[in-house]
Amino acid sequence: MRLHGFVMAGVLMVFSPLLAQGGQSPYAGQEQRDMKALSGDDIQALLDGQGQGLAKAAELNQYPGLKHVLKLASPLQLSEEQHVETQRIYDAMHAEAVHLGALILDKERDLDSLFSRKAITSQQLQNLSREIARLQGELRIVHLQAHLEMARVLTPAQMDKYNELRGYQADGPAMPHNGGHHGNQ
Protein backbone atom coordinates (compact mmCIF):
# COMPACT_ATOMS: atom_id res chain seq x y z
CA MET A 1 0.00 0.00 0.00
CA ARG A 2 2.84 2.40 0.77
CA LEU A 3 4.22 1.93 -2.76
CA HIS A 4 0.81 2.79 -4.23
CA GLY A 5 0.81 6.03 -2.21
CA PHE A 6 4.27 6.98 -3.48
CA VAL A 7 3.25 6.24 -7.06
CA MET A 8 0.10 8.38 -6.71
CA ALA A 9 2.13 11.23 -5.17
CA GLY A 10 4.55 11.04 -8.10
CA VAL A 11 1.73 11.08 -10.62
CA LEU A 12 0.19 14.12 -8.95
CA MET A 13 3.53 15.93 -8.95
CA VAL A 14 3.94 15.33 -12.69
CA PHE A 15 0.40 16.28 -13.67
CA SER A 16 -0.30 19.09 -11.18
CA PRO A 17 1.12 21.82 -13.43
CA LEU A 18 -1.07 20.57 -16.27
CA LEU A 19 -4.16 20.53 -14.08
CA ALA A 20 -3.40 24.05 -12.84
CA GLN A 21 -3.49 25.31 -16.42
CA GLY A 22 -7.17 24.48 -16.49
CA GLY A 23 -6.92 22.59 -19.77
CA GLN A 24 -5.32 25.54 -21.57
CA SER A 25 -4.83 24.86 -25.26
CA PRO A 26 -1.33 24.68 -26.72
CA TYR A 27 -2.71 27.24 -29.22
CA ALA A 28 -3.32 29.83 -26.48
CA GLY A 29 -1.92 33.17 -27.59
CA GLN A 30 -1.88 32.22 -31.26
CA GLU A 31 -5.32 33.76 -31.70
CA GLN A 32 -3.50 37.11 -31.69
CA ARG A 33 -1.55 36.31 -34.84
CA ASP A 34 -2.34 38.14 -38.05
CA MET A 35 -2.57 34.80 -39.85
CA LYS A 36 -3.68 32.23 -37.30
CA ALA A 37 -2.39 29.10 -39.04
CA LEU A 38 1.17 30.37 -39.56
CA SER A 39 3.82 31.61 -37.15
CA GLY A 40 5.98 34.60 -37.95
CA ASP A 41 8.82 32.18 -38.73
CA ASP A 42 6.57 30.18 -41.08
CA ILE A 43 5.58 33.36 -42.92
CA GLN A 44 9.16 34.58 -43.20
CA ALA A 45 10.33 31.19 -44.50
CA LEU A 46 7.69 31.28 -47.24
CA LEU A 47 8.60 34.86 -48.15
CA ASP A 48 12.30 33.94 -48.26
CA GLY A 49 11.82 30.78 -50.34
CA GLN A 50 13.30 28.55 -47.65
CA GLY A 51 12.99 24.78 -47.85
CA GLN A 52 11.54 24.21 -44.36
CA GLY A 53 12.52 20.55 -44.59
CA LEU A 54 10.50 20.00 -47.77
CA ALA A 55 13.47 18.36 -49.50
CA LYS A 56 14.56 16.14 -46.62
CA ALA A 57 13.75 13.01 -48.67
CA ALA A 58 16.36 14.15 -51.19
CA GLU A 59 18.94 15.58 -48.79
CA LEU A 60 19.04 12.48 -46.61
CA ASN A 61 19.23 10.14 -49.61
CA GLN A 62 22.39 11.65 -51.10
CA TYR A 63 20.88 14.38 -53.27
CA PRO A 64 22.71 17.50 -52.05
CA GLY A 65 21.15 20.85 -51.29
CA LEU A 66 22.22 23.84 -53.34
CA LYS A 67 22.71 26.32 -50.51
CA HIS A 68 24.88 23.77 -48.71
CA VAL A 69 26.91 23.05 -51.85
CA LEU A 70 27.50 26.78 -52.36
CA LYS A 71 28.60 27.17 -48.74
CA LEU A 72 30.90 24.16 -49.08
CA ALA A 73 32.26 25.14 -52.51
CA SER A 74 35.86 25.32 -51.32
CA PRO A 75 36.13 21.97 -49.50
CA LEU A 76 34.14 20.35 -52.32
CA GLN A 77 36.61 21.88 -54.80
CA LEU A 78 33.86 23.00 -57.17
CA SER A 79 35.11 23.94 -60.60
CA GLU A 80 34.11 27.35 -61.92
CA GLU A 81 31.60 25.66 -64.23
CA GLN A 82 30.09 23.69 -61.34
CA HIS A 83 29.85 26.82 -59.21
CA VAL A 84 28.11 28.76 -62.00
CA GLU A 85 25.71 25.87 -62.66
CA THR A 86 24.92 25.45 -58.95
CA GLN A 87 24.22 29.17 -58.63
CA ARG A 88 22.01 29.09 -61.73
CA ILE A 89 19.96 26.17 -60.37
CA TYR A 90 19.71 27.85 -56.96
CA ASP A 91 18.58 31.19 -58.42
CA ALA A 92 15.85 29.54 -60.50
CA MET A 93 14.69 27.41 -57.56
CA HIS A 94 14.73 30.35 -55.17
CA ALA A 95 12.76 32.64 -57.50
CA GLU A 96 10.05 30.00 -57.98
CA ALA A 97 9.98 29.17 -54.25
CA VAL A 98 9.51 32.85 -53.35
CA HIS A 99 6.73 33.14 -55.92
CA LEU A 100 4.94 30.05 -54.63
CA GLY A 101 5.44 31.15 -51.02
CA ALA A 102 3.70 34.45 -51.78
CA LEU A 103 0.80 32.60 -53.42
CA ILE A 104 0.46 30.28 -50.41
CA LEU A 105 0.41 33.27 -48.07
CA ASP A 106 -2.29 34.96 -50.16
CA LYS A 107 -4.50 31.88 -49.97
CA GLU A 108 -3.84 31.45 -46.25
CA ARG A 109 -4.83 35.10 -45.72
CA ASP A 110 -8.04 34.52 -47.67
CA LEU A 111 -8.86 31.44 -45.59
CA ASP A 112 -8.09 33.19 -42.32
CA SER A 113 -10.12 36.25 -43.32
CA LEU A 114 -13.18 34.21 -44.23
CA PHE A 115 -13.04 32.38 -40.91
CA SER A 116 -12.44 35.56 -38.89
CA ARG A 117 -15.43 37.27 -40.55
CA LYS A 118 -17.54 34.12 -40.00
CA ALA A 119 -18.24 34.26 -43.74
CA ILE A 120 -16.76 30.99 -44.98
CA THR A 121 -18.84 28.45 -46.85
CA SER A 122 -18.14 24.77 -47.22
CA GLN A 123 -17.34 25.29 -50.91
CA GLN A 124 -14.86 28.11 -50.15
CA LEU A 125 -13.25 25.97 -47.48
CA GLN A 126 -12.80 23.10 -49.91
CA ASN A 127 -11.54 25.29 -52.75
CA LEU A 128 -9.03 27.23 -50.64
CA SER A 129 -7.79 24.13 -48.82
CA ARG A 130 -7.23 22.30 -52.10
CA GLU A 131 -5.47 25.30 -53.64
CA ILE A 132 -3.18 25.71 -50.61
CA ALA A 133 -2.35 22.00 -50.71
CA ARG A 134 -1.64 22.18 -54.46
CA LEU A 135 0.66 25.17 -54.00
CA GLN A 136 2.45 23.47 -51.08
CA GLY A 137 2.97 20.43 -53.31
CA GLU A 138 4.37 22.63 -56.07
CA LEU A 139 6.73 24.26 -53.55
CA ARG A 140 7.97 20.86 -52.44
CA ILE A 141 8.52 19.80 -56.05
CA VAL A 142 10.59 22.94 -56.69
CA HIS A 143 12.88 22.16 -53.75
CA LEU A 144 13.16 18.45 -54.52
CA GLN A 145 13.80 19.11 -58.22
CA ALA A 146 16.68 21.40 -57.30
CA HIS A 147 18.29 18.59 -55.28
CA LEU A 148 17.80 16.24 -58.22
CA GLU A 149 19.52 18.70 -60.57
CA MET A 150 22.33 19.30 -58.07
CA ALA A 151 23.17 15.60 -57.99
CA ARG A 152 23.94 15.77 -61.71
CA VAL A 153 26.47 18.56 -61.22
CA LEU A 154 28.77 16.95 -58.65
CA THR A 155 31.25 14.13 -59.23
CA PRO A 156 30.95 10.93 -57.16
CA ALA A 157 33.95 12.05 -55.06
CA GLN A 158 32.30 15.43 -54.41
CA MET A 159 29.07 13.68 -53.44
CA ASP A 160 30.98 11.54 -50.93
CA LYS A 161 32.75 14.63 -49.56
CA TYR A 162 29.43 16.50 -49.31
CA ASN A 163 27.86 13.68 -47.30
CA GLU A 164 30.93 13.52 -45.07
CA LEU A 165 30.90 17.29 -44.47
CA ARG A 166 27.18 17.21 -43.69
CA GLY A 167 27.71 14.33 -41.24
CA TYR A 168 25.66 11.76 -43.12
CA GLN A 169 26.31 8.04 -42.88
CA ALA A 170 27.16 6.21 -46.10
CA ASP A 171 24.75 3.33 -45.39
CA GLY A 172 22.44 3.78 -48.38
CA PRO A 173 22.91 2.63 -51.95
CA ALA A 174 25.42 4.42 -54.10
CA MET A 175 24.16 7.65 -55.61
CA PRO A 176 23.17 7.26 -59.26
CA HIS A 177 25.04 9.72 -61.42
CA ASN A 178 23.23 10.68 -64.59
CA GLY A 179 25.78 12.15 -66.90
CA GLY A 180 25.71 15.85 -66.29
CA HIS A 181 28.91 17.75 -65.67
CA HIS A 182 30.92 15.10 -63.83
CA GLY A 183 34.63 15.30 -64.22
CA ASN A 184 34.62 19.01 -65.10
CA GLN A 185 36.89 20.01 -62.29
Q: Is residue 185 situated within a structural domain?
A: no
The one-character DSSP state at 78 is -
39 vs 161, which has greater pLDDT? 161
Alpha-carbon distance of 130 to 124, in angstroms, equals 10
Q: Is residue 105 situated within a structural domain?
A: yes
Q: Is residue 62 situated within a structural domain?
A: yes
Q: Is residue 2 situated within a structural domain?
A: no
Give yes or no for residue 184 having a pLDDT over 60: no
Dump the DSSP string for 12-55. Answer: HHHHHHHHHTTS--TTTTGGGSSSTTS-HHHHHHHHHT--TTTT
- What CATH number is given to the structural domain containing 112? 1.20.120
Q: Are 136 and 52 in contact (CB under 8 A)?
A: no
The one-character DSSP state at 73 is H
pTM of the model: 0.76
Alpha-carbon distance of 173 to 81, in angstroms, equals 28
| Number of domains the chain contains | 1
Q: Are 9 and 1 in contact (CB under 8 A)?
A: no
**In terms of residue numbers, what domain contains 42?**
37-166
pLDDT the model gives residue 36: 66
58 vs 6, which has greater pLDDT? 58
Q: What is the tens place of the pLDDT at every residue in 83-126?
A: 999 999 999 999 999 999 999 999 999 999 999 999 999 999 99
Alpha-carbon distance of 61 to 56, in angstroms, equals 8
Range among 36-45, 101-110, 164-173 rated most confident: 101-110
Q: Three-class SS of residue 131?
A: helix
Q: Is residue 21 situated within a structural domain?
A: no
